[in-house]
Amino acid sequence: MKRELAERFNQEVENHRKALLYYARNCDWKTFEAKAGRLFDYVESIEFMELERRFFKVFNLILVVLVVAVIALFTVNFEVHDNLLRLKHAFVVSALAVSSYEFFFYFDYRTYINFKSFSFKKRRENFIRNIEQDFRGYAAQSERSAALSSRKETDLGGGFCCSGDCGAPAAS
């Protein structure tokens, strides 16, 4: 199941990448930004679901250990033997340590999620800006190579495919 989800995720990201390449080649930067925003939203939702799955996997395991310790404390008669009384104290200290860790683990997770949620808009804008810069460089490079190959073929010194708003020199 995890492999199928990973393959589906990779396929979706590849589809987004192909769409972004198409819009970068056509210098349609408004649509590019919208598609890049959707890619960011998609990746963030998948990341959040995976973090949540991993968190609750560990959280539930620790919770089960804590419940078993509490059940053992209430069901076992520790006064039968002196060594068992010391074991009871060890159980209590262990249960307190596990519950403290569980609280810290939960608090740390919630703080991380709140921070990610709080900075979502800024991270999204930075992602879009950075990926747009990368693709503008790619578009400019592909336009330059296309112009060079057309110059070699026709020897006319042809121009570029867009007006220069994507970072490439404008056609003259």
Whole-angstrom distance, CA of residue 158 vs CA of residue 172: 8
- 21's CB contacts (< 8 A; 6+ apart) are 135, 138
Position with higher pLDDT, 170 vs 63: 63
Segments making up each domain of the chain, as ranges: 2-135
- For residue range 58-87, list pLDDT tens digits in order: 888 888 888 888 887 788 777 777 777 778
- Tokens matching residue 117: 């949620």
Q: What are the angstrom distances between the C-alpha of 53 and each of 47, 65, 99, 103, 167?
A: 10, 19, 20, 18, 42
- For residue range 1-38, list pLDDT tens digits in order: 588 888 998 999 999 989 888 888 888 888 889 999 99
Residue 124 confidence class, pLDDT cut points 50, 70, 90: very high
Question: Which residue is it, tokens 């990973």?
Answer: 6
**Helix, strand or coil for residue 89?**
helix
- Tokens matching residue 118: 């709080």
Q: How many helices (H) and strands (E) does the chain have?
A: 4, 0
- Tokens matching residue 146: 């296309």
Whole-angstrom distance, CA of residue 44 vs CA of residue 4: 19
Task: Report whether 158 contacts 147 (CB < 8 A).
Answer: yes
Looking at every residue in the chain, the average pLDDT score rounds to: 81
Residue 88 confidence class, pLDDT cut points 50, 70, 90: confident
Whole-angstrom distance, CA of residue 122 vs CA of residue 130: 12
Q: Judge whether residue 40 has pLDDT over 70.
A: yes
Q: State the pLDDT at residue 164.
A: 53
- Ranges assigned E (strand) in the chain: none
Q: State the pLDDT at residue 125.
A: 93
- For residue range 46-62, list pLDDT tens digits in order: 999 988 888 888 888 88
* Nearest by Cα to 32 from 127, 122, 169, 160: 127
